[in-house]
Chains A and B, each alone.
Chain A
């Protein structure tokens, strides 16, 4: 996917040393996630706000217990600082709303020791309009919209909601790729309906889906053409005991095109794949007892019981729907390498349409 041909950059009077000083100023204010920020000025932020027909003081998220809120204006400032172009802003807002629909995002998740990270998924024509990468290296880095839109969400949490590492952000270790994963679904090479369709948005409409995640783990299987052997490999990774803290937990799969096409070629829909995995994912009580997690308390939290029936089997998934096991397709068609996603508390199964102008108002590459 390519963006419009770049116009020549015409900034004869730009002062690199002034830019460096501005970047240092942003660091000094403690606004940065550790990487350089684009200094946001009124002129630049107004270009962001001009892409949508909404009021700058509209509140789009709050953490009442921290006395903080996010307005459209603050979203635009943080998106600009993250390195977004103005025409990304409608996608930033859809991504933010999609993440707000994850119950953890408003339920203390940003403060969690597990340090969850949003996984954003973009569907529809906006992928091509803005030049998202949906193919090789889908998890990044390398592509501006994928990287900066994910980063914008992180800066909004840090700056506007005030959840800062070592302060209200209490991640024990966090995870690689936090605030960096914005996938574009490879709809062109997927045999299945786009994720946003399962999230209630018609195919062909630009939309963003979002969920909090704890990490991703690859399944490299270039070894079999048997769909059940392939799915058994996924079941093994999904059923890892370290991820089991409650009676049930969700998981997602970002299939590479090769794996998805193999399964679809065997006649399996997404629902079939889910049903196969829901039936088989989980661990025996004996396995769980070995790691001190065989018991399940009234509140659903596992504990070391030791007296459970070793032959019993604890199924991992609570349901067989997309909220417990979201499935999408991204990446290149060059190998059988897919990713299991550790979903934090489930997908809302509610995708958000992108509303606004997602084309540049000035030639790409011109001074913003």
Chain B
């Protein structure tokens, strides 16, 4: 006679991946760093990243050289060639905005991929998508991966409000991609 233990599992769930560390080495400051901006076509994403880049240049000495890339398949992790390009030409990458069910998860996957390739990344998601963003961090074998959140919604903000968001996010972005955050996360 069959028992409950004979009921088949419909998930085929893979054992959790033990991932490599998802943390690239940090610099102590941002003077002269080449920024990469990976925007995901979500409304206001490009503007938010541009505003952050301008603040990092004017207030933290980041280089005027900025590599801007658009992720057209926003729901999926970024293509290998884009990853290689960002890794090859940037010291720090900002990406976002994780403002939907699939793109929030994929933004976190991108951040983790960049970190594993040696580039510090600041991933910005709307705070309505922490479940899926954190879920992706677990899938990638990096539970607890520190992404940044900004209040939902982002897409309907006007340009001034986006600038204000960039201003609010700036200290967290700096802390995330520099050595100071290593102290913070470790503590």
Given A67-B14, A107-B75, A107-B76, decide whether A167 and B7 contact each other with a Cβ distance below 8 A. no
Tell me, yes or no, whether A244 is within 8 Å of chain B by CB: no
Tell me, yes or no, whether B11 is within 8 Å of chain A by CB: yes
Given A111-B101, A160-B12, decide whether A41 and B6 contact each other with a Cβ distance below 8 A. yes
- CB of A65 within 8 A of CB of B11, answer no
Q: How far does the alpha carbon of A170 sit from the alpha carbon of B75 in the complex, in Å?
A: 13
**How does the 8 Å CB contact mask read for A33-65 relative to B, with 1 for contact and 0 for none?**
000000111110100000000000000000001
Task: State which size class the interface on B falls in.
Answer: 20 to 34
Q: Which A residues lie within 8 Å of B102 (CB)? A: 107-109, 111-112, 170
Tell me, yes or no, whether A166 is within 8 Å of chain B by CB: yes
Q: Which of A212-234 contact B (CB under 8 A)?
A: none
Please pick, from B9, B72, B74, B139, the residue contacting A66 in the complex, using a CB distance under 8 A.
Answer: B139
Q: Is the interface of B mostly helix, strand, loop or mixed?
A: loop
- CB of A111 within 8 A of CB of B131, answer no
Tell me, yes or no, whether B90 is within 8 Å of chain A by CB: no
Q: Which B residues lie within 8 Å of A160 (CB)? A: 10-12
Q: How far does the alpha carbon of A73 sit from the alpha carbon of B8 in the complex, in Å?
A: 10
Looking at the assembled complex, report how far the CB atom of B150 sits from the nearest CB atom of chain A, in whole angstroms: 17
Given A65-B106, A170-B101, decide whether A22 and B7 contact each other with a Cβ distance below 8 A. yes
- CB of B105 within 8 A of CB of A111, answer yes
**How does the 8 Å CB contact mask read for A1-43 relative to B, with 1 for contact and 0 for none?**
0000000000000000000011001100101000000011111
Tell me, yes or no, whether A277 is within 8 Å of chain B by CB: no
Q: Which B residues lie within 8 Å of A159 (CB)? A: 10-12
Tell me, yes or no, whether B17 is within 8 Å of chain A by CB: yes
Looking at the assembled complex, report how far the CB atom of A334 sits from the nearest CB atom of chain B, in whole angstroms: 40
- CB of A25 within 8 A of CB of B4, answer yes
- CB of B4 within 8 A of CB of A45, answer no
Q: Which A residues lie within 8 Å of B2 (CB)? A: 41, 43
Interface with B: A74-82, A186-194, A317-325, which one? A74-82
Q: How far does the alpha carbon of A26 sit from the alpha carbon of B9 in the complex, in Å?
A: 9
Tell me, yes or no, whether B129 is within 8 Å of chain A by CB: yes
Tell me, yes or no, whether B132 is within 8 Å of chain A by CB: yes
Q: How far does the alpha carbon of A69 sit from the alpha carbon of B12 in the complex, in Å?
A: 8
Q: How far does the alpha carbon of A155 sit from the alpha carbon of B8 in the complex, in Å?
A: 14
Tell me, yes or no, whether A171 is within 8 Å of chain B by CB: yes
- CB of A167 within 8 A of CB of B12, answer no
- CB of A170 within 8 A of CB of B8, answer no
Please pick, from B9, B129, B136, the residue contacting A77 in the complex, using a CB distance under 8 A.
Answer: B9
- CB of B6 within 8 A of CB of A113, answer no
Looking at the assembled complex, report how far the CB atom of B104 sits from the nearest CB atom of chain A, in whole angstroms: 8
Residue in A closest to B14 when the chains form the complex, CB atoms: A67
Q: Which B residues lie within 8 Å of A112 (CB)? A: 75, 100-102
B10, B75, B100, B104 interface centre (most CB from chain A within 10 Å): B10
Q: Which B residues lie within 8 Å of A74 (CB)? A: 10-12
- CB of A113 within 8 A of CB of B10, answer no
Tell me, yes or no, whether A303 is within 8 Å of chain B by CB: yes
Given A65-B76, A65-B105, A170-B129, decide whether A40 and B4 contact each other with a Cβ distance below 8 A. no
- CB of B132 within 8 A of CB of A167, answer yes
Tell me, yes or no, whether B184 is within 8 Å of chain A by CB: no
Tell me, yes or no, whether B135 is within 8 Å of chain A by CB: yes
Please pick, from B9, B11, B74, the residue contacting A162 in the complex, using a CB distance under 8 A.
Answer: B11
Q: Which A residues lie within 8 Å of B103 (CB)? A: 108
Looking at the assembled complex, report how far the CB atom of B141 sits from the nearest CB atom of chain A, in whole angstroms: 9
Given A65-B105, A170-B129, decide whether A81 and B10 contact each other with a Cβ distance below 8 A. yes
Q: Which B residues lie within 8 Å of A29 (CB)? A: 9
Please pick, from B7, B76, B109, B139, the residue contacting A39 in the complex, using a CB distance under 8 A.
Answer: B7
Q: How far does the alpha carbon of A300 sit from the alpha carbon of B34 in the complex, in Å?
A: 31
- CB of B76 within 8 A of CB of A108, answer yes
Q: Which of B1-43 contact A (CB under 8 A)?
A: 2, 4, 6-14, 17, 41, 43
- CB of A111 within 8 A of CB of B11, answer no
Tell me, yes or no, whether B77 is within 8 Å of chain A by CB: yes
Q: How far does the alpha carbon of A149 sit from the alpha carbon of B109 in the complex, in Å?
A: 33
Q: Which A residues lie within 8 Å of B6 (CB)? A: 41-42
Looking at the assembled complex, report how far the CB atom of B131 sits from the nearest CB atom of chain A, in whole angstroms: 6
Residue in A closest to B100 when the chains form the complex, CB atoms: A113
**How does the 8 Å CB contact mask read for A101-123 relative to B, with 1 for contact and 0 for none?**
00000011101110000000000
Tell me, yes or no, whether A299 is within 8 Å of chain B by CB: yes
Q: Which of A153-173 contact B (CB under 8 A)?
A: 155, 159-160, 162, 166-171
Tell me, yes or no, whether A71 is within 8 Å of chain B by CB: yes
Given A67-B17, A170-B100, decide whether A301 and B43 contact each other with a Cβ distance below 8 A. yes
- CB of A41 within 8 A of CB of B8, answer yes
Looking at the assembled complex, report how far the CB atom of B111 sits from the nearest CB atom of chain A, in whole angstroms: 13
What 9 pairs between A and B have smallest CB-CB spacing?
A108-B75, A170-B101, A108-B102, A111-B102, A159-B10, A111-B101, A77-B10, A39-B7, A40-B8
List 6 A-B residue pairs with CB atoms under 8 Å apart, sorted by A's residue number: A31-B10, A68-B14, A111-B101, A167-B132, A168-B132, A170-B101
